[in-house]
Amino acid sequence: MATLKVTQIGNSLGVILPKEVAARLKVEKGDTLYLTEAPEGYRLSPHDPAFEEKMVKAEDIIKRYRNTLRVLAQ
């Protein structure tokens, strides 16, 4: 667990990530983080949850239309 302190950044509020947290999330200056609601509270992640949903749908389409996609690829 890490404690984050809320600070004023211009007219907004922000938090500073400790080095250990940034290293564990594998993020650097300029990267985007996504804050999503979860049953236990909030989740901070470097991965876009909307993209993950799209990939699950794409994988389903690929499985269902495997033969058609193979013919189209030729």
| Residues with Cβ within 8 Å of residue 35, at least 6 apart in sequence | 42, 43, 44
Q: Bigger pLDDT: 48 or 67?
A: 67
d(CA 25, CA 22): 5
Kindly state the average pLDDT of the residues 49-72.
87
For 12-28, what is each residue's pLDDT tens digit? 999 999 999 999 999 99
pLDDT of residue 7: 94
d(CA 58, CA 41): 29
d(CA 49, CA 53): 6
Percentage of the chain modeled with pLDDT above 70: 100
For 27-52, what is each residue's pLDDT tens digit? 999 999 998 898 989 888 888 878 87
Q: What mean pLDDT is reported for the chain?
A: 89
**Hey, where are the domains in the chain?**
6-73
